Amino acid sequence: MVTAIVLIEAERAAIARLGPALADVRGVAEAYSVTGEFDFVVVVRVKDHEEVAEVVTNRLAQIPGIVRTRTHVAFKVYSRHDLEAMFSVGLPGEVRQ
């Protein structure tokens, strides 16, 4: 399984209708409207890197209203559980029982 995070800049007039359209794309696991430089963050989960290319270039980028995309492929996932375990080692000098 390959996970990619796609940052999307949209035309202002398209923002209201773009969220549902992004969420309906096959391969898109989650779509978020966000503040900042980009308007949406999309999480793509597919079986291989070739399918990431298919989703981003042939499905997402073809949706009217998208100005540009920036794609980041994840190397490793850290679940909330994993992060809590990493930080539960205690503070320096603290004795754990």
Over the stretch 47-96, which tens digit does the pLDDT of each residue have?
999 999 999 999 998 999 999 999 999 998 877 666 566 566 555 555 55
The CATH T-level fold of domain 2-89 is Alpha-Beta Plaits (3.30.70)
**Residues 33-60: what's their mean pLDDT?**
96
Quote the CA–CA distance of 34 and 71 in Å, as a whole number.
16
**Residues 26-36: what's their mean pLDDT?**
97
Q: Kindly report the pTM of this predicted structure.
A: 0.80
For the chain, give percent helix, strand, coil, nearest 5.
Answer: 35, 30, 35
Q: How many CA atoms lie within 13 Å of 74's alpha carbon, on the beta-carbon side?
A: 15
Quote the CA–CA distance of 85 and 41 in Å, as a whole number.
27
Better-predicted residue by pLDDT, 91 or 33: 33
Q: Where are the domains of the chain?
A: 2-89
